[in-house]
Amino acid sequence: MIPIRKVFTPEQVQQIRLHLDEADWQGGEITAGQQARRVKHNQQLPQDGTLTQQIGDLILDALARHPVFISAALPQKIFPPMFNRYSVGETYGSHVDNAIRVIPGTTIRLRTDLSATLFLSDPDEYEGGDLQIEDHFGSQCVKLAAGDMILYPSTSLHQVMPVTAGRRVSAVFWLQSMVRSNEQREMLFGLDQSIQSLTSLHGHEHQDVTRLSGVYQNLIRQWADA
């Protein structure tokens, strides 16, 4: 799990929420698969709605400029963001995301390697509603500041705990990475972060920076599906 901090500033989140809070929401079970429909109890914006597409484009534009996201995800295809809202008593029970998704209005299929939740409500706006993700180290509860995002493997069993007060608003989407393996992506991310740290200390021309950059690029060349 990798947090992607400050995708949006508080001011940008406020502007987004002004539009989302006035939107017409529908039952979230509409886009759930047969199994997920039994445990999905939330609200959702229509996928083909103008507002969904406009704010979704803002998210994708912001992420395209976010170096940590690019380094962690190595995105190849991205499913357009969807918007969920959880009011009191609403929840999304334990499930694993669909392995294959078709981008609406197209015949483009993508393999869901990574899942993303962009929080659009601050933690003090609601109680409950934690994103609970199972990983090798047990269950991890995630509740980030508005404008922050969590990126995690789509193979993970996860759920949104019931909201007990307030409202939880978020954007969710999935992506297919150029590198399918979670383990390989993790190694590449760690290597890239080390290269960035060394570069800030010694500059691009330092021999260790040049050497490690070459290793990184050759691993990408070996593992990536361009």
Decide: 159 and 93 in contact? Cβ < 8 Å.
Answer: yes
Instruction: Write b or e for each residue in 13-30: b if 16 or more Cβ atoms lie within 10 A of its Cβ, otherwise e.
Output: beebeeebeebebeebee
Instruction: Kindly state the helix (H) or strand (E) to which residue 186 belongs, with its residue range.
Output: helix 182-202
Q: Is 95 annotated as a binding residue?
A: yes
Q: Is 185 annotated as a binding residue?
A: no
Give dist(CA 215, CA 199) in Å, integer. Answer: 15
For residue 147, is it left (φ>0), alpha (ψ between -120 and 50) or beta? left
- Counting Cα atoms < 13 Å in the Cβ hemisphere of 188 gives 26
Amino acid letter, residue 98 = N
* Kind plus residue range of the DSSP H or E element containing 167: none
C-alpha–C-alpha distance, residues 20 and 192, integer Å: 36
Instruction: Name the binding residues for Fe cation.
Output: 95, 97, 158
Instruction: Name the binding residues.
Output: 95, 97, 158, 168
Instruction: Name the binding residues for 2-oxoglutarate.
Output: 168
